[in-house]
Amino acid sequence: MLQIKAVQPFTFAILKKLSALPALSQFQLVGGTALALQIGHRQSIDLDFFTPNLDFDENVMLRTLQGLGETTVLSTDINWLGVKFEGVKVDILKYPYPLIEEYIEEDGIRLISPADIAAMKLSAISGRGAKKDFFDLFFLLQIFPLQEMLDLYTKKFGIHEHFHVIRSLTYFEDAEEEIDPVMLQPATWQAVKKNIERIVRDFLL
């Protein structure tokens, strides 16, 4: 059952509208919104649709969206389209890494699994972790032990060296000045940092 309180009603309506598009039938919702709709830990505002194996024409996709509602282009590249669609930030992207598990489909909405989200969250944090990524990690670590998350990361990306990823998990400096996400389950920034630091410390012992 989707935790629809994780998104605003108008965002959920847009998610339903976009998920029903034939042009997006091979795409799945990813990221923090996909996680929030499954575990209900926080509110999320952006919609990210990824496909692992489908090339698409971003100009054709743009025209499709423009025919459906007010669309403002934010960024575009080969196999990537970023827009504001009826006021909601939407990214549509070919992400050339296989799904670890079958995607989940509920109420016409396709979402990647928590296992895939966990792997991608480690990748995001190893790049530049936003504060919301660390909050997501805090809750993902209640589902997966850190070693399992690293194994999922290797399975998805084929990367066996984890030193940089592990080091990134406790690098909070870039996230400090960002606003906290709106939480639906109890978690403070201090608790998130303390818990992640403890888990990483215990893992390295």
Question: pLDDT tens for residues 55-65?
Answer: 999 999 999 99
Provide φ and ψ at 55, rounded to 5°.
-75, 140
Q: What is the CATH number of domain 4-111?
A: 3.30.460.10
Q: Which residue ranges make up each domain of the chain?
A: 4-111, 114-204
C-alpha 191/C-alpha 195 separation (Å) is 6
pTM score? 0.96
Locus of tokens 């940092």? 193
**What are the tens digits of pLDDT across the range 14-56?**
999 999 999 999 999 999 999 999 999 999 999 999 999 889 9
Vertex 123 angle, CA 117 and 126, to 5°: 140
